Chain A
Amino acid sequence: MGYTVRDKAAIVGLGTTEFSKDSGRSEMQLAVESVLAALADAGIEPGEVDGLCTYMMDNSSEIDVFRNIGGRNLKVFSRISYGGGGACAPVQQAMMAVATGVAEVVVCYRAMNERSGMRFGQPMVRSSPESEMMLKALHSLQGLQTAAAMMALPMRRYMHETGASAEDFANYSIVARRHAATNPNAFFYGKPITLDDYMNSRMIADPFRLLDCCQESDGAVAVVVTNAERARGLRQKPVYIRAAAQGAPVGTLLCTSYYKPDIVPREECQLVADQLYTMADLTPGDIDVAIIYDHFGPTVLPSLEGYGFCEPGEAKDFIKGGNIELGGSLPVNTHGGQLGEAYIHGMNGIAEGIRQLRGTAVNQVRGAEHVLVTAGTGVPTSGLILGL
């Protein structure tokens, strides 16, 4: 049976707060500010919302957001696991809900004080009875306690298998910071970096240097999803959900997919990519802009391979050749990525995808019709193809 959801749902509203290092207000306030902004953008009353979806580590619960915005009857509420790998999955949940008629107005949101509040980069040693925490504790006893160190192991293996070097990793960071340098909403607006800056930045977890690591940010993003019929009568040009998918090949764990034959964070991308291109009836060559999740910049390389833009091991040459820059064959992370703009756990990447299709991005790719947005890799992940 083929997919039946292509273009049945559309993103019709986008709301964001400012991105900062100290928002000065609660995460719940950030959440409801972004949700109300997204609804206002769409021209839909808060009382019409009947679905709310988010993902792990959002401290603002669906029902509390609903109460604060003056909602009435919530019919769809879900929360996806696996950290930044869940970034695109709430939109998939929303798509399925509105395409089937289960709900009509679903808002996906992400709000966090990730710099001024609980910082994800810190060592993780506390545990709960969840099954995954047993393995996390076993790793923790060996001194493997930060997300950077966990993801460094597969990327060291990637270097070994492909010959990618520190310079190759630097090339991505330089592009991301160049794109951020012309984005006034980016923390690193006006602050591009050089290869020397990269090489002189301190080691965090070998092979990751400081300039490979995404930021820690405060902020929120929300998007409104409704069915295609309703979308056509609203204020904004609809951004259709061509395809949305999740993927976790067997052995994929939370940042520690070490126990399967191939530990490079690429297989989960391939599983999502296969579904997306089939569902959308598109090929990698049809993608005009790619928003590739960059918790750690080097993981963009195997992601580009997994999503079919080049063969395994060739991403270093693809990047070196200028393809991912503005004006290149596949502009990537035109907002500056999570290295350059902000780290709203991938949701700011969805916002950039929407702006590119509306034609309102600061680093606009002219005539963009199809945008790929991906979520965290090295974890069970998700992705979207958005289109006009």
Chain B
Amino acid sequence: MEQTATQDIPPSKRPLPVPHSNRDYDFFYQGLEAGKLLVQKCDGCGTVRNPPGPMCPHCHSLKWTPIECRGTGTVYSYTVHYHPPLPNFDSPHAIVLADMSEGFRLIGGLQGARPEDIRIGMPLVVGFERRGEVSTFHFRLA
């Protein structure tokens, strides 16, 4: 992921690097390309799981379906990154660990909130964006 073509752009303004994926994670990025937040649901026992993986740890089924999420959740925990400067992001940059409505956890950047206003338990909503060559998502306070 060398970024020689973007050397003249400040680190925080560079487009995101191309996602690093494999056959277990491809569906997630394909969903973002289509403007959808997808999560794995087991065909055997119906359990929703994240992070992605080929096998259901409950029933050991290898069959699963990507389902589209409502894009709602609450703040389970959070941080605000200040230092050092991040490639592709401004500082401070808030990040939340969300409890999603479908019953799984998801890490996402939080946009449009002042750091001092973030609290555990606050409702969240997902938004989509395109940054350079990459389709991605973020959270906002609902």
Contacts and interface: CB of A to CB of B under 8 A. Distances in A.
A141 B95 CA distance: 11
Interface in A233-277: 250, 256, 258-259, 263
Contacts of B115: 206
Contact of A205 (B19, B24, B76, B79): B79
Given A134-B25, A141-B16, A141-B136, A153 B77 contact: yes
B119 to A, nearest CB: 9
B80 A134 contact: no
B20 A203 contact: no
B30 to A, nearest CB: 13
B84 A121 contact: yes
A181 B87 CA distance: 36
B79 A152 contact: yes
Q: Kindly state the interface size class of chain B when it binds its partner.
A: 35 or more
Interface residues of A, number: 40
A153 B78 contact: yes
A257 to B, nearest CB: 11
A139 B120 contact: no
Nearest to B24: A134
B113 interface: no
Interface stretch (A107-115, A154-162, A223-231, A284-292): A154-162
A149 B109 CA distance: 12
B45 interface: no
Nearest to A259: B105
30 contacts: A123-B87, A125-B17, A134-B24, A134-B51, A134-B52, A135-B51, A137-B20, A137-B21, A138-B19, A141-B17, A143-B81, A143-B89, A143-B93, A143-B109, A144-B81, A149-B79, A149-B81, A153-B77, A153-B95, A156-B120, A157-B77, A160-B77, A203-B82, A203-B92, A204-B82, A205-B79, A205-B81, A206-B79, A259-B51, A263-B97
